[in-house]
Amino acid sequence: MEINFNILRVGLICGGCSTEHEVSLQSAAYIMQHIDKNLFEIVVFWISKHGGWYIIYNDVSRNIFSDSREQKNKYIPVMIKQFSGRFVFFTDDITSALLKIDVIFPIIHGSFGEDGSLQGLIRIMNLPYVGSSILGSSICMDKTITKRLLRDSGLPVASFKTFSHYERSNITFVSFYNMFGLPFFIKPVNQGSSIGVSKVTNQNVFNKALDVAFAYGDKIMVEPCIVGRELECAVLGNDDPISSVCGEIVINSNNDNGFYTYYKKYISSTTEVIIPALITNIISDKVRHYSICAFQTLSCSGMARIDMFLTLNNQIIINEVNTLPGFTSHSMYPKLWEATGISPTLLLTKLITLSLERYEWEKYSFIILCIFEMIF
């Protein structure tokens, strides 16, 4: 399906109440820098850490966003008008006005941003939006649901155990030591960017790791430590997705227990990114094939980044699927596509076009359903 448009007004939603607020602001700044200004007009909607919605007309940077009363007075509060595709905002003289948006680009990472919540709100507004649907977003936000669906589809995942907070009294170090050996990982099931993840190397850190993981939600997951290389592959598309070249994350430090922490993803210079990954064509083809299979199995659309391990005996294990990958200067998703031959500007245009295609198809399907119900 071809989408014809002149200049579209894109609502870029960033910030949010999650622990990945700062990452979202970095991603928003990257998108504003690289989006095609000849095709799109950007309107930035900032959600504060306390949940307030504001229109920001300045350039996006972490320095201009603040929950302080003094700084908030410079912002324009926003309310949502259901089913209309419009936002209500208040001007300086306290009169209200309607702002029409053509498509939403949500770039809020973590809880409420990529778990289907924001996607549901945008759907209620009857607007197209970039990224996966409510279903695909909510599936991939829960690591245990993701792994179960991948496993049941015959795709390779590591073994894992899941516990709720009310089962904590039954969780013992010895049981996981017998199951996985040392080290093993404890993580919340619904966080990204390695937030809340601990590497358990001995019994002394076990209870603290549980405390950290449960601080981010009522469900946690325990997994063995996979010894091998960390590979990533980007996927782009709707019904007929394509995959990028593979990339590798190399950690050049023994700190942080040698895994890809939040600090190493967004702050540290000790992490090296190799694109394309130095792997054989056979392994590369398999990684790309698994990436597309995972994308389709989990009902993803638009985009996703698939994280995998390559073990010492060349076994590929799918680790996570991220439906709203970062768009910072450090982020793998745009880097992988640039190495594949798609520039950041073209990538953003493709993502917006894909969102419009899906929106038109959903409207068409709804009309057909209504006609079918009228006939029968």
Residue 31 is assigned to a ligand binding site: no
What are 141-177's pLDDT values in tens digits?
999 999 999 999 999 999 999 999 999 988 999 999 9
| Closest to 113 (Cα-Cα) out of 28, 39, 182 | 28
Q: What is the pLDDT of residue 93?
A: 46
Question: What average pLDDT does this structure show over 181-199?
Answer: 90
| Spatial separation of the C-alpha atoms in residues 188 and 191, rounded to whole Å | 6
- Residue 81 annotated as lining a ligand binding site: no
Q: How confident is the model at residue 363 (pLDDT cuts 50, 70, 90)?
A: confident
Kindly indicate the confidence band of residue 362, based on its pLDDT and cuts at 50, 70 and 90: confident
Residue 267's pLDDT band (cuts 50, 70, 90): very low
244 is in an annotated binding site: no
178 is in an annotated binding site: no
Catalytic residue among 24, 132, 284, 331: 331
* Weakest mean pLDDT among 75-79, 177-181, 205-209, 349-353: 75-79
pLDDT (tens digit, 9 = 90+) per residue, 66-93? Answer: 555 545 556 778 877 665 667 776 555 4
Q: Give me the pLDDT at residue 95, please.
A: 47
Set 18, 20, 111, 114: catalytic member: 20
**Is 66 an annotated catalytic residue?**
no
Tally the residues of the chain.
376
Q: What is the pLDDT of residues 86-128, one digit of tens each?
A: 777 655 544 455 678 999 999 999 888 999 999 999 998 899 9
Please report, for the chain, the start and end positions of each structural domain, with discontinuous segments joined by +: 8-129, 139-156+226-351, 161-224
User: Is 143 marked within a binding site?
Assistant: yes
Specify the higher pLDDT residue, 252 or 268: 252
Q: Is the predicted pLDDT of residue 58 greater than 80, yes or no?
A: no
Judge if pTM exceeds 0.85: yes
Q: What is the pLDDT of residue 195?
A: 87
- One-letter amino acid at 373 equals E
- Residue 62 is given by DSSP the state G
The catalytic residue among 193, 291, 301, 355 is 193
Is 322 annotated to bind a ligand? Reply is: yes
223 annotated binding-site participant: yes
Mean pLDDT score, 190-194:
77
**In the structure, what pLDDT confidence band is assigned to residue 373 with cuts at 50, 70 and 90?**
low
Mean pLDDT is lowest, of 74-78, 157-161, 276-280, 287-291, for: 74-78
224 carries a ligand binding annotation: yes
**% of the chain at pLDDT higher than 90:** 67
According to DSSP, residue 324 is labeled S
Q: Is 194 annotated as ligand-binding?
A: yes
Supply the pLDDT for residue 62: 47
Residues 6+ apart with CB under 8 A from 358: 128, 133, 238, 301, 302
Neighbouring CB atoms inside 10 A of 215's CB total 11
Instruction: State pLDDT tens for residues 228-240.
Output: 999 999 999 999 9
At residue 3, the pLDDT reads: 53
193 catalytic residue (yes or no)? yes
Res 253: pLDDT: 62
Q: What is the pLDDT at residue 94?
A: 43
Helices vs. strands in the chain: H and E counts, helices first: 11, 16
Query: Binding site annotation covers 41?
Result: no
Q: Is 227 annotated as a binding residue?
A: yes
Residue 353 or residue 194, greater confidence: 353
H or E element in which residue 22 lies:
helix 21-34
Domains 8-129 and 161-224 share a fold: no
Q: Which one is the CATH code of 8-129: 3.30.300.30, 3.40.50.20, 3.60.21.10, 3.40.50.12500?
A: 3.40.50.20
Lowest mean pLDDT among 57-61, 96-100, 131-135, 369-373: 57-61
User: Which helix H or strand E contains 350, and what residues bound it?
Assistant: helix 344-375
Domain 161-224 sits in CATH at 3.30.1490.20
pLDDT for res 365: 64
Which residues, in sequence order, are CB contacts of 75 under 8 Å at separation 6+? Answer: 46, 54, 55, 56
230 labeled binding residue: yes
Whether residue 59 is annotated as binding a ligand: the answer is no
**What pLDDT, on the 0 to 100 scale, is given for residue 247?**
99
Quick one: pLDDT at residue 87? 72
Tracing tokens 């289907």 back to the chain, one arrives at: 116
User: Tell me, what amino acid is at 165?
Assistant: H
CA-closest candidate to residue 11, choices 56, 74, 49: 56
May I ask the CATH architecture of the domain 139-156+226-351?
Answer: 2-Layer Sandwich (3.30)
362 an active-site residue?
no
